[in-house]
Structure 1
Amino acid sequence: MDIARLKAVHGEVKALKGGPDSTAAWFSAYALALSDGDPASLAGQLVGGHDALKSALGSWHAPSGSLRWLYAALLVGNGRATAEFVRLRDALKAGEKQANAGKLYAGGSRVALVLALADAGSAHAVRRFFAIRSAIRPPWWRANPAITDQFAASHAAQDDAPETVVRAREAAMAVFAAEKATRGLKREGARLCALYGQEAASVRDRYLALREGVRAYKALRHAGNRHIFIEWAAHGVTPGDLAEIDANMAELGKVTQTGSARLRLAHLVWLGARGEGGLGSVSAMAAVIAAQTAAIIAVTTAATAATTSTSS
């Protein structure tokens, strides 16, 4: 992805009256810039997508606030119709009780977005999502519905079988658990390896190398953390890529640092520059999943941090 284009699209997004602000504006611009459209035209499509979501869902149903703008941007940037997202959300809500797998996170919005972006809107994909969700759902004391739904939907979009996902996670978890430095990341690492079809030992080794490599880059070291670096390792980042990500971060100096947003955006620019080969041997759809996940995390954590700061 060209940073000059990202900044041009961001300028149009920021100029929108009542549009997204701060972190949401940058990540909405990134999502829109995935398309080849003219920046001004894309900003206009963003408004149309946002208004369509608001009209279909009402003012208070998820996604709301900054996330609504981001959802609209992701749909527009990937050439997906708002109507398909809404249809999937309704289908998921209808299947929620029948599946008996607990309440969907954010009313099924996160799942609907994943399936819509992957063009996996069939009844089979919805059934597969619920089956995978039941298979990977953790016990209540460490449950995180947002993560469970995100990964179950991503696996369903790839038409993975529930038993295959469980086996892949268990095998990868054993690899991370065997290494003291990655033992605390065993579940995170296993989830990522299973989703992207990555060899756990390779991801573990890349993580360990990144942990050492970032010491030479002050900005990356201070803005990052072990959770971000294990994601990067699963995305194929090596110490040799850190200089480029660090340069991206410097060029994106106007992006807020709240919730490590600038660091995540710098990584997404690196990922976007690689096209279909962005994750090495991982599919192009997996790159879309990675980008969307990072964007949602950045916008959500930035909003939470801002709220906490305001109220403290």
Structure 2
Amino acid sequence: MSRDRKSLIHIHANNTPWELQLCSAANINVTVNMRRLGSVQQKIPCVFLTEVKQEPSRKRDCQQFQVVATEHVNPVSLEANVDCALATEKLDGTCCYVTVYKGRPHLWARLDRKPTKQAEKRFRKHQRSHRSCKGFTWNVEEDFKAVPEAWIPAHRVKHHSGRPVPDEHGHIPGWVPVEKHNKQYCWHSSVLDRDVVAALVLRPSGDDEDGLEVAAVPLADLLEQTLELIGTNVNGNPYALGSKKQPVHCLVSHGSVRIRNPPPVDFQQLCSWFQESPAGRVEGIVWHCSDGSLVKVHRHHLALRWPDGETCLGERPVVVRVGGASDEYSGSQDLFASFSRLNGHRFSRLPDIQFDS
């Protein structure tokens, strides 16, 4: 399909219309029905074919190799018709999931079941000698670390004899419920009001095309969605939210921050866009294809730095829309109460959000 033939396509996800410029064979209106945008349950493949270089990773300090993109588009992307996909911002945080736990909507944290050190060594040795993970045999009962009893595997994890088995990276993706007193997930807990079963969500503003809003959203409205937790104490805080004294965290639904006028899926044009366009000050792009599949590219795939100065998300204006401390959030945790005192307040940039001392 030619990349220069465009038409306006309306995508409906959860009864919300999305309008974007996409390629099609003729200038007609097309309706693409997607069950849900942005469900990130598995590792997302790169939009390009990749190769491994034996040099220190730009993304992980202790990793002595890095995965980089070639200039060849991944056949998976072509099969999913990536030229007609919805381009959204790849956010730099930690992945979360909302589903039922103990009979009510609940926030879950990402917890992949990983191999023991000995099993990891065997797996990496096999990879080096065969230049592939194919043919490696796992003993799932013995080779993997224990996980909490409430842990569940992610959607589409393959099973053998009733047991989940690892993916090609040697991990079993999964989720664990965020419990109130678990210090490991204290920043997850900070965005929750358990009394009213709601979460603090950062999302595009309904009345400002360029703006964002922080809103208290019932977890029931987020059921079966995946979201990204971003903020002061997550992944080095590239969006400059809050401070050590006053940490600020929030959830962002995957697929909610779309990229207007994205570049075509072309290696050189994407490199130029990331380096030269104000809209390219993002960690990466995730394309949501009409068949429900996802593909991505991030700056490290293209040998580009991240973070690299101010971010596109951080430069957008934001308004706070969280109910007053005197009403439904009166019994909430500190972050909810702090935001409720700013209800209706507008900030010119995301990092400008500050609470009274």
- TM-score scaled by structure 1? 0.28
- TM-score scaled by structure 2? 0.26
Q: Rg bigger for which structure?
A: 2
**Larger relative CO (CA 8 A, sep 6+): 1 or 2?**
2
Q: Which has the higher helix share?
A: 1
